[in-house]
Amino acid sequence: MPLTDTAVRNKKPGKKPSKLSDERGLFLIVTPAGGKWWRFRYSFGGKEKLLSLGTYPDISLAGARQRRDDARKLLAEGIDPGEQRKAAKAARAGLAANTFEVIGREWYAKTAPMLAENTKAKLLRFLEVDVFPWIGARPITSLAAADLIKVIERIEQRGAMDIARRVHNYMGRIFRYAVGRGLATRDPSRDIELKDILPPENVQHHASVTDPKAVGGLLRAIDGFTGALGTRCALRLAALAFVRPGELRHAEWAEFDFEKTEWRIPAAKMKMKEQHIVPLSDQAVGILREIQPLTGNGRYVFPSERGGSRPMSENTINAALRRMGYAKDEMTGHGFRSMASTLLHELGLPHAAIERQLAHGERNKVSAAYNFAEHLPERRKMMQQWADYLDKLRAGAEVIPLHGQAA
C-alpha cells in the first residue's frame, strides 16, 4: 500500500529504527532521535543496494518518489545510480580542486623560485588583486576568452595599461601550465588580441640624464641632497655601479668583499637569474665605508627608514630625485643605467664589457660563461675609469674621451 503525506508526517519515533514502505523500492527510515530518511532499494549486477534520497521534510513524499523514478530510469539504461552519484561527486570535487586560483597558485609556487624578490612580490600582488577575486573561484575549464577580457578591461579602467598587458601574459601562462598537466584543454588567452581591447602601447624608456654637463649637475645635486644619509649614499652608488634599482635597494653587507673590492649579487636577485659581479671602484668603496657605521650591523646596506629588517622602499630613489628638482620625465632611478650605457659607449669603451656590466642577458650559455671570465679584468678597469670620469664631470672639468683605455 503506497504511503501518504499524513502517514509520513504523523509517524512517531520509537525505541528502535522503524520503516514505512512505499512502492517500487522506496521507503522511509524513522530513527529513535526523530530523523526521517528516504531510501531506495534496488538491485544491480546481482547485488542489492541502497541509495539515500534525502531527509523529510526537506524532501517531501512527492520529491522522494521523483528521485526514485530518476534512479529507476538510470537502471533501465544499465547505469548504477549509486555509482553515478559517486562519479558526479568526484567530478565536483575535481572542479573545486581545479579552480583558476588553485592552479594559479600552484603555477606561482613553481615559478617564484626563478624570479627576483621584487618581481615575485609584484606578480603575486597582480594575481591577488586583479585576477583571483574575479575568476579565481571558477573551474579553469569553464573560463573563456570573454572572462579574461573582463579582467583586463577592469584593469584598463583605472589606467594601468602596463599591468593589464602583464596580467594577460600571466593568465596565459597559468592556462598553458594547466594544459601541460592535463587540467585544461586549451589556453583562451591566445584568442585575445590586446590591440583590439587596449589603446596602442606607448613605449617609454626610463628617463635619464646623458649629456655630460647635465650629468655633472646631477652629481653635484646628489652631493648637496639634504635628505637621509642612506638615500644620498644610495644615489651616489647608483651612479657608480649602475645596477637595477631593485638590486641596489636589496644590497646586503654579506655580498660585499672589500679585500677583492667586489659586490657579488646572488642569482636569485638578478633579472637574468645569473650571479653578477660589480667591481668596486675606490669611490664606491668610500661610499660604503661612509655608511657602514650607520647600517653595517644590519642586513641591508640601505635599510628602510621604518626598520632595518626591510630594505629601502621602492620609491625612495625616485622621490629623492623629485625633491632635487628632477621631474619623472627627466631622471629616474633606472636612468642611471641608461646614463652609464650611453656615456660609456660614447667614450669608446668595449661594448661587450659594458653589456656584461649592465647584466644584459647572454642567450648563448657558452658565450655567457666565456664573457664572464674574459671581460672581468677589463670591467674592473672600466669601473674605476668610469668613477674617475664622473669625478671630473662633478667638478665641471673639460670632458676627455677615454677611447681605448679599457682595451
The residues annotated as belonging to the active site are 244, 271, 334, 337, 360, 370
Q: Residue 51 and residue 79: Cα distance in Å, rounded?
A: 13
Nine-digit cell at 52?
Answer: 539515500
Helix, strand, coil shares of the chain, percent, nearest 5, are 55, 10, 35
> What pairs with residue 264 in β-bridges?
277
Do residues 196 and 152 lie in contact, with contact meaning Cβ atoms separated by under 8 Å? no
Q: Checking DSSP bridges between strand 276-279 and strand 303-304, what pairing results, if any? A: unpaired
Nine-digit cell at 349?
Answer: 669603451
Cell 573563456, residue? Answer: 144
To the nearest 10 degrees (0 to 180), the angle between helices 117-126 and 100-111 is 180
- DSSP track, 256-279: EETTTTEEEE-GGGSTTSS-EEEE
Nine-digit cell at 105?
Answer: 597558485
Q: Residue 139 and residue 134: Cα distance in Å, rounded?
A: 12
Q: Residue 200 and residue 164: Cα distance in Å, rounded?
A: 12
Q: Residue 222 and residue 283: Cα distance in Å, rounded?
A: 15
Nine-digit cell at 256?
Answer: 660585499
Q: Tell me, what DSSP letter sits at residue 140?
A: G
| Alpha helices (H) in 244-364, listed in sequence order | 245-249, 282-295, 316-323, 335-346, 351-357
Do residues 131 and 154 lie in contact, with contact meaning Cβ atoms separated by under 8 Å? no
Query: Smallest Cα–Cα separation from 273: which of 375, 120, 125, 170?
Result: 120
Query: Smallest Cα–Cα separation from 123: which of 113, 114, 112?
Result: 112
Q: Going along 6-112, which residue ranges are E strands?
A: 18-21, 26-30, 36-44, 47-56
Those residues whose C-beta lies under 8 Å from the C-beta of residue 348, and which sit 6 or more positions away, are: 401, 402, 403, 404
